[in-house]
Amino acid sequence: NAGVMQNPRHLVRRRGQEARLRCSPMKGHSHVYWYRQLPEEGLKFMVYLQKENIIDESGMPKERFSAEFPKEGPSILRIQQVVRGDSAAYFCASSPTGDAGELFFGEGSRLTVL
Amino acid sequence: EDQVTQSPEALRLQEGESSSLNCSYTVSGLRGLFWYRQDPGKGPEFLFTLYSAGEEKEKERLKATLTKKESFLHITAPKPEDSATYLCAVNGVGGFKTIFGAGTRLFVKA
């Protein structure tokens, strides 16, 4: 029973490039949450998605950031024209229901912007 | 706006020295308060959910309690393998997101 799978685990981009982070939720889970964690800080909510729908994107910057969770395939967090301040660990979590109870987290994708 | 504050930021204990971590929260209608453990370079791992004041949950050397404004994570006779960052989080009515505190980094020395 595979857990939440995130890839890549580590990603290095130069300023101005695009970063794509992928998340496959646990089997049977249709609710996906993305969080960002800066060094020595807590997890900051970015976006909550269900299959083919964005439910709450209140934590996501209005520009350069987008997320999707298509009917088939993983959820993707896309960051366009990356800047140094985007360097962080990005965690995906999934849950079987939308009541935001226990969240099952992946190991994270660590983005470094040079 | 929902908010979670954890203290202390860091806690250093000797093996066997019991202590408590604090989580103060403000939320409009608590649906659940959660404790997670995070090891360096890893994703958070779920520990407990508490739903109402007076509720307590236990797991090995950990015990979580809840009041109307705070939650405590009590660690009894800790071992070095308990060293980790402990995260507190809340979910309130009217929202879909779980809000996390900054965490308490626990170091247990043998």
Low-confidence residues of chain B: pLDDT under 50: none
Coil/strand/helix, residue A38 = coil
* A35 contacts B96? CB cut-off 8 A: no
Torsional sign, CA B103, B44, A104, A58: positive
Question: What are the pLDDT digits (tens) for A38-78?
Answer: 877 789 999 999 998 999 999 999 999 999 999 999 999 99
Q: Which residues of B touch A4 (CB under 8 A)?
A: 43
Spatial contact of B92 and B29, defined as CB atoms under 8 Å apart: yes
> Would an 8 Å CB–CB cutoff place B88 in contact with chain A?
no
Q: What is the pLDDT of residue A39?
A: 79
Coil/strand/helix, residue B41 = coil
User: Which residue is it, tokens 């995260």?
Assistant: B87
Question: What are the pLDDT digits (tens) for A18-36?
Answer: 999 999 999 989 999 999 9
Separation in Å, CA of B103 to nearest CA in chain A: 6
Q: What is the pLDDT of residue A100?
A: 62
Q: Rg of chain B's alpha carbons, rounded to an integer?
A: 13
With 60 as the cut, is the pLDDT of residue A102 above it? yes
* B31 contacts A99? CB cut-off 8 A: yes
Q: What is the pLDDT of residue B66?
A: 97
pLDDT, mean of residues A95-110: 87
Spatial contact of A67 and A49, defined as CB atoms under 8 Å apart: yes
pLDDT, greater one: A81 or A102: A81
> Would an 8 Å CB–CB cutoff place B46 in contact with chain A?
yes
Cα-Cα-Cα-Cα dihedral of A54, B49, B23, B9, to 10°?
-80
Smallest Cα–Cα separation from A86: which of A56, A55, A54, A109?
Answer: A109
> Would an 8 Å CB–CB cutoff place A63 in contact with chain B?
no
Q: What is the pLDDT of residue B14?
A: 97
Residue A96: pLDDT band by 50, 70, 90 thresholds?
confident
Cα-Cα-Cα-Cα dihedral of B89, A37, A59, A93, to 10°?
-60
Question: Residue B18, Cβ neighbours under 10 Å: how many?
Answer: 11
Size of interface A-B (CB pairs under 8 A): 63
Q: What is the pLDDT of residue B95?
A: 67
Coil/strand/helix, residue A5 = strand
Q: Which residues of A touch B85 (CB under 8 A)?
A: none
Separation in Å, CA of A68 to nearest CA in chain B: 17
Residue A98: pLDDT band by 50, 70, 90 thresholds?
confident
